[in-house]
Amino acid sequence: MRKLPLALLAMTAMSGCTYLPAAGPTASAIEAGAEVATADGGTLARYEIIDVTPSVIEALRGRPLDSLLASFGDHRPSTEPVIGIGDMVSVSVWEAGSGGLFSGPLVADRFSAGSKSALIPEQPVGRDGAISVPYAGRIKVAGRRPQDVQGLIENELAGKAIQPQVLVSVTRPISQAVTVTGEGAAGARLPLSGHGDRILDVIAAAGGNRSPVSETFVRLSRGPLTATVPLTTVVSNPKENIYLRPNDVLTLVRDPQTFLAVGALGQATELPFQADGIT
């Protein structure tokens, strides 16, 4: 006589499970949602279901992560950068005496010999790789060091000016710049210094990272190659803080790292990883 109440209780408990409020998707709902019917009667895969087995874990564990060092190497740029197309260049010319092409005339006061120099306003290096210098014409400067260009201009002015001495300055080295952009950066085009600049140097010069470090990824593009690593990797591993080269594009991407908690927790919610290395 005691078996009947126990059986009824068991049946009631089993049937009651189907009416409990669900805190997350069931296994059958996940499997059913993996494919969706198309208009032509076929099916389209929306996502793949993968069993988490020891072999899958080992495969993920052995997957190589992106590395800036492995992708681009770490080579300090030349300490003597050359002039490139688009750079802004200014030229100053001195003469040994007054009354020449670039110097002022003698004045009445015998103690004032007049100006002996002239500053040619800055100008961009044209697509032909040259700049214009009065009485010297078009001077090819692209691919040359400033001190080499000084000698070229002095040779062209020899016999026209009074023992000319020339100083060439690159006021805005556009060709030696990198681009910093992305949600985590203020955005800027920054010239590289002569001693070389690493990734963190350029980020600091651009105003620093505005997103949490744990949510920021560094994406470096150089020519056809692009690699992305977490900013925490660059900060914690000095080998990943590589030297940048002219025309590199550095993008700071904010990608909050979160996980979904469902099921027996009682509440389906999305929780952020607010620190690095959470287990």
Pairing of strands 177-182, 249-254: parallel
Single-letter residue type at 204: A
**Residue 125 CB neighbour total at 10 angstroms:** 21
Query: Which range, 63-72, 162-171, 184-193, has the best average confidence (pLDDT)?
Result: 162-171
Range from 53-67, 95-109, 194-208 carrying the lowest mean pLDDT: 95-109
Percent of the chain with pLDDT over 90: 37
**What rounded mean pLDDT belongs to the chain?**
81
> What does the H/E/C string look like for 161-222?
ECCCEEEEEEEECHHHEEEEEECCCCCEEEECCCCCCEHHHHHHHCCCCCCCHHHEEEEEEE
Confidence check: pLDDT of 277 > 50 = yes
| Domains contained in the chain, CATH given | 20-79+173-279 (3.10.560.10), 88-172 (3.30.1950.10)
pLDDT digits (tens, 9 = 90+) for 67-116: 999 889 988 776 678 899 999 999 999 988 777 787 766 555 554 455 67
pLDDT value for 107: 54
Contacts of residues 52-61 at CB distance under 8 Å and 24 or more positions apart, as own/partner, are none
pLDDT value for 214: 82
Strand partners, 190: 178
Confidence check: pLDDT of 144 > 70 = yes
Query: In 3D, which of 174, 10, 7 has the Cα closest to residue 85?
Result: 174
CA distances from 33 to 18, 42, 53, 61, 266 (A): 20, 15, 22, 28, 23
Confidence check: pLDDT of 177 > 70 = yes
Range from 126-140, 143-157, 252-266 carrying the lowest mean pLDDT: 252-266
pLDDT value for 242: 95
For the question of whether the overall pTM of this predicted structure is more than 0.75, the answer is no
Distance of CA 142 to the CA centre of its chain: 26
pLDDT value for 113: 53
pLDDT value for 23: 58
pLDDT value for 111: 46
pLDDT digits (tens, 9 = 90+) for 234-275: 999 999 999 999 999 999 998 888 888 877 767 778 888 776
What whole-number distance in Å separates Cα of residue 147 and Cα of residue 225? 34
